[in-house]
Structure 1
Amino acid sequence: MKKKIFMEELKNYDDAVIKFNKTLKFNTLPLTSWDYYAQFFEKTCNTAEDLKSLGQLAENNAWDFDSLIFEEQLEAKKHVIVVTDANLNIVYATKNIWEMNRYHPKQIIGNKPKMFQGEKTCRNSLKIISNAVREKKPFETTVLNYRKDGSTYNCWIKGQPILNKSGEVINFIAFEREVA
């Protein structure tokens, strides 16, 4: 008996749902619009993950540096951020580096930024960078770099040493973007 009453209630529910759905007017979206949304969503998630990782890196290394600048550099200016240790070994790169040179961050960790240079890279630009690093001073220059596939691109770099709270250089940070 209970089973029969339950089945009738379920049928009434189904009828009500069907009736309700017939009154709705759905605007369908083409599947391609989902691709645009997904790309934006992925970039947003990557940026959030990068901000968290950079904040953790700053905290772990006791940086005497305003980490609020990361949000501006990543979100507003769309810069790539590369962090090296004091010996210029890459310890972190934001995920958007892929868009600039087709390397994933994991592929460059442990390497030196020289991995992006080649025979056409301007030696004067490299001298500006090496002098600034040696003197532990900020720098800004444009360098001809090489992508993973061997093609070239002009990379604007604004770099600076990062000091810990004791005043020692603990890392170097570079804000980068491809320029014409």
Structure 2
Amino acid sequence: MNELKDYDDAIVKFRKSIKHSILPVISWDFYGENYDAIKKSEDDMNSLLSLSTMNSWTIDSKLIDKKLRADKNIIVVTDTNLNIVFATKNMWDMSQYHPEEIIGKSPKMFQGNLTNSKPLKIISKAVKEKQPFEVTVINYKKDGTTYNCCIKGEPIFNNKGKVVNFIAFEKEVA
């Protein structure tokens, strides 16, 4: 029993030596929001890696991870017919659409009267020529309000050199 007393004394001594910081309950909200964002990006990255494996992408997964997590881009993946097959969960933050609401639809769903045709022509040409592009377009949120969306898109090739998807890294800009 003497051994346990020494252990208890050591614990008491250690606890007295450390400085405790009491955090207000409100700090838990920040932790919760941050945890949710990390969890969503982790889920999105796992889904993208699965899609990448399924379609034999040659694109660097580290680049996708950086664009998603560090750069906080919204990522949209389409098939070769330009139907959306994947969107990250942070899509809601920019467009008020949940990813499930846009899967199977065309990115044209975000366009409206104020959307300029010039950037759309650039996108169309780049897609036909299987080239990367970067444009800023006026898109529409679910509630009908507009936002400027910077889109950096590129074709994704499989290991046989065939285009299998297109990927767009999107961000709302001023």
Report the TM-score when normalising by structure 1.
Answer: 0.84
Q: What corresponds to 1:163 in structure 2?
A: 157
Q: Which amino acid counterpart does residue 57 of structure 1 have in structure 2?
A: L
Task: Please list the CA deviations of residues 125-170 of structure 1 after superposition, one character each: whole Å capped at 9, or x if unmatched.
Answer: 1110011111111100000000011100000000011111111110
Task: Please list the CA deviations of residues 28-84 of structure 1 after superposition, one character each: whole Å capped at 9, or x if unmatched.
Answer: 543322111100000000111111110110000011111111111011111111000
Q: Which one of 30, 36, 48 corresponds to residue 42 of structure 1? A: 36
- How many angstroms apart in 2 are the aligned matches of 1:29 and 1:107? 39
Q: Which has the larger radius of gyration?
A: 1
Q: What corresponds to 1:178 in structure 2?
A: 172
Gaps of 5+ in 1: 1-19
How many residues are treated as equivalent by the alignment? 160
Q: Which runs of 4+ in 1 moved over 2 A?
A: 23-32
Q: Which amino acid counterpart does residue 165 of structure 1 have in structure 2?
A: N
Matches for 1:7-18 after TM superposition, within 5 Å: none
Corresponding residue SS for 2:82: coil
Q: Which amino acid counterpart does residue 179 of structure 1 have in structure 2?
A: V
Matches for 1:67-146 after TM superposition, within 5 Å: 67-146=61-140
The CA RMSD measured in Å over matched residues stands at: 1.7
Gaps of 5+ in 2: 1-11
Percent of residue pairs bearing the same amino acid type: 55
Q: Which amino acid counterpart does residue 136 of structure 2 have in structure 1?
A: T
- How many angstroms apart in 1 are the aligned matches of 2:21 and 2:47? 40
- How many angstroms apart in 2 are the aligned matches of 1:141 and 1:100? 17
